[in-house]
Amino acid sequence: MSRIKNLPIPAIALVFTLIILGAGPALAGKIPFGPRVGYTSWDGISQFHFGGHLKLGEIFPNVHLTPGLEVGLGDGFTIVTANGDVAYQFTELTTDPWGMYAGGSLSLNYLDHEHLDGELDLGFSLLFGGTRKLNNGHELLGEVRFGLLDSPDFKATIGYTFF
């Protein structure tokens, strides 16, 4: 975990803009969205995390943009993460109702400890996941992330997407 002194404003603005622009239409039922919960491990910190995601759609064939926001609690730390996930859907390897994806995420991580000043990190992680479409049209997801740069070492997440 390292403190960022000069944050790249375009990257931060992009993540937050996508989340803000998608929030209204998602709540109106026009953009798929859903909750997510899981386990986070980062430099010896173990946490429970919860949050939500928006499925903003394809930016290239089979490449989807899914920003999200998560809050991790535990071991005296609070970690707030804004993710900008870009993932490839392996449609050629799966058949309905199953899905599989892999990609990367640029994230903005805010760490707060009860005895230390808050710290802001810009991070990058790899992600792998699977989905299962349900009879009601919604979707379950399971996902793991591995931090490469100033991100949690490991995250395991389950989620639900309303379509």
* pLDDT, averaged across the chain: 86
pLDDT of residue 56 exceeding 80, the answer is: yes
- 0.85 exceeded by pTM: no
Separation CA 59–CA 137 (nearest Å): 22
Domains of the chain, residue spans? 9-161
Identify which of 136, 122, 148, 129 has the alpha carbon closest to the alpha carbon of residue 36. Answer: 129
Which residues have C-beta within 8 Å of that of residue 72, sequence separation ≥ 6? Answer: 40, 47, 48, 49, 78, 79, 80, 81, 152
pLDDT of residue 3 exceeding 50, the answer is: no
Residue 11: the pLDDT is 52
pLDDT, greater one: 62 or 28: 62
- Residue 48: band (very low, low, confident or very high) from pLDDT cuts 50, 70, 90: very high
pLDDT of residue 62 exceeding 70, the answer is: yes
Report, at the CATH architecture level, how domain 9-161 is classified.
Answer: Beta Barrel (2.40)
Residue 151: the pLDDT is 93
Residue 5: the pLDDT is 44
Average pLDDT over residues 70-97: 93
